[in-house]
Amino acid sequence: MKKVLFLIAIIALFSSCLNTEVKDQVIGPQDLTLESDVMTPEVMWAFGRVSEIQISPDQTKVLFGITWYNWEENKGNRDLYIMNIDGSDRKNITNTNSGEYNARWKSDKVIGFLGFADDESIQLFEMNVDGSEKKQISSVEGGITGFEFAPDASAIAYTKEILNITTQDIYPDLDKADARIIDDLMFRHWDEWVSSTSHLFIAQYDGSHLTNHVDLLDGEPYEVPMKPFGGLEQINWAPDGKSIVYTCRKKSGIEYSLSTNSDLYLYELESGETSNLTEGMMGYDMNPVFSPDGSMLAWESMERDGYESDKQRLFVMDMATGESKYHTKDFDQHVANLRWREDAKAIYFISGWHGTQQLYEISLATDSVKTITSGVHDYDAFEMAGDQFIAQRQSMSMPSEIYAVNTTDGADINISNVNTNLLDQLAMGNVEERWITTTDGKQMLTWVIYPPHFDPNKKYPTLLYCQGGPQGMVGQFWSYRWNFQMMAANGYIVVAPNRRGVPGFGQEWLEQISGDYGGQNMEDYLTAIDTLAAESYVDANSLGAIGASYGGFSVYWLAGHHEGRFKAFIAHDGMFNFESQYLETEELWFANWDLGGPYWDRNNEIAQRSYANSPHLFVDKWDTPILIIHGERDYRIAYTQAIQAFTAAKLVGVPARLLIFPTENHWVLQPQNAILWQREFKGWLDKWLKKS
């Protein structure tokens, strides 16, 4: 389902995967000279992964992080870098093997960041802009998971995990018991059994120490930021430092599992009072951003409770009157990553449209929207620096780099060039935009990715890529598993349709999929692969279908309905049995909205149609080899779904393989597991789709 990276997930990964042992050799960039211009999984894992752009207060420098991996050691390391605003004079200012992240400018001369203390807890550190005079600032018991300086740096807001009551708290004499006592829902979430709750704290800061720590949710069973995907974007200081706004869904247990109704809360430091700014707004309200003078607050809002893929709307509140206005009524797209123009008369944001993510500007006076950038790429994040954006950009053919983008005409230039050396040695396949007519007469954007050195006079095995989400646009993303260029480098044409149910094509196109899982979107998939199979360079007798999450469900469903089109399937973390999925998943609002409700609601036509399309009901029609992959720590779609599918395949005599990752969640994050994933992926497809 939805994939959105967030800071706490990064911390959890780094704690288990980063190189924290003291060694002479620091994991960093590799100066590789490649013997071939065709990408391999090992080469792909040599790319540096850029993240967390921060602009200095004087807007002359860019602070960011790069994560490097050594797959042979099964470890990674994240270092902090700084460069001039034009990309010159880039320097690694940490160069350690312990990992640093969540870096923030305290001033033009001093940087704060999170790192590992001697007791291996995660604490706040500071250092000079050149990396000198590093010192530990916090000593918070259990460590902290994120922080933001107040505008004048006289205080910090930080998040930390508060432990929940354990079995040993209830029965102190049973100190060796390892059972869990559970009385309500949401006892596990995403990839963890919920043993703690994230709270937001404010502490005073004198330049050396933190004092007067205040828990803004003291005694409350609620979390800030919201799991599983929330990060520091859900918290924002007022420019005068006298208040802070945070995002919270103040619900617990079964109510939490059924609702997406989060609100924005204003906390006043002097009085200690908290007020709900968005009471009565029933969907997600999140990611608040103050105007430069603090007089207005912008945020992203969804209208309907329980619908996590509702339109993300732009709202702005007058902080003096409390009145708010919906500014994107006539804009049939999502808004994200809000940033105020310096004069506060406009807001910049990111939005997906037709398979790409671009930068936009909206005038608050007229609500008119201007598209600033164009091109076949995705902008994922940006910050303001005078008359330009400093933005993170990627595509199907390039991992993330940092670009300087003109705010007027969208002209951009790569200023980080972290991966240029490797990219210059690789041949990427051509990415083609196609518009295909669907069975109901609509136009569907389908990306077609060709192998490097493509020869139109040859025939190629071809893969239908089934997108997850389900409400996830097939944009210009660069993945380290579902990497289209990696698939193409293996000698396959990849067909990636933006089928019904994805954003970037209007809300009607997006919403059609809910309650229709086995319907029009499956027709869209078959139309896409049938259209490409008619091309002379496609081997119509060597077609495969692949996908993860909703894409994994799609593969399971196609396995029972493809009518001989495909010769191989790969399903990763897919839903196989809707009835058991409904009671195994954690965020029930998703199942209620997209499936229509519980399977026992016999009078619910939408729900009954959904469950009637569960893939497990069509196993009698399975006749094609299938590789089934799942992570045991995936609690969104439990690994028992994979076990059911594998057992069914073996019982009906279909060639099948089960690949289980005991320590992975909905994704595969550890380097060697990811390399193994790529080798199994390629091996299975080669076995069944390539003629010997």
Catalytic annotation, residues: 549, 634, 666
Structure-token pair, residue 7: 């800071």
Written as one letter, the residue type at 34 is L
Contact 247, 226 (CB under 8 A): yes
Strands 538-548, 568-572: pairing is: parallel
- In the sheet that 101-105 helps form, which strands lie side by side, from edge to edge? 101-105, 110-116, 122-128, 135-136
Q: How large is the angle between the packed helices 550-559 and 520-533, nearest 10 degrees?
A: 70
CA atoms within 13 A on the CB side of 677: 29
* Other residues' Cβ atoms within 10 Å of the Cβ of residue 520: 17
Residue 128 Cα distances to 67, 112, 174, 206, 625, angstroms? 21, 9, 49, 17, 58
Q: Per the omega criterion (within 30 degrees of 0), is the bond before 172 cis?
A: no
Rounded CA separation 188/175 (Å): 22
Rounded CA separation 429/144 (Å): 43
Q: Which residue reads 């519980």 in tokens?
A: 598
Residue 648 CB-density burial (10 A; 0-12 exposed, 13-18 middle, 19+ buried): buried
Rounded CA separation 284/611 (Å): 27
Contact 224, 178 (CB under 8 A): no
Q: Per the omega criterion (within 30 degrees of 0), is the bond before 598 cis?
A: no
Residue 529 Cα distances to 70, 306, 487, 621, angstroms? 37, 33, 16, 20
- In the sheet that 196-205 helps form, which strands lie side by side, from edge to edge? 146-149, 155-163, 196-205, 210-215
Task: Print the SS3 string covering 126-167.
Answer: EEECCCCCCEECCCCCCCCCEEEECCCCCEEEEEEEEECCCH
Contact 378, 477 (CB under 8 A): yes
What per-residue string of b and e applies to 568-593 under the rule 16 or more CB within 10 Å gives b?
bbbbbbbbbbbebbbebbbbbbbbbb
Of 228, 42, 205, 25, residue with least CA distance to 110: 205
Residue 684 Cα distances to 567, 668, 679, 687, angstroms? 11, 18, 8, 5
DSSP 63-104: EEEEEEEETTTTEEEEEEEEEETTS-S-EES---SS--EEEE
Q: How much helix, strand and coil, in percent to the nearest 5, is found in the chain?
A: 20, 35, 50
Q: Give 682's contacts (C-beta < 8 A, 6+ positions apart).
A: 490
Contact 399, 408 (CB under 8 A): no
Of 14, 7, 27, residue with least CA distance to 96: 27
Written as one letter, the residue type at 346 is A
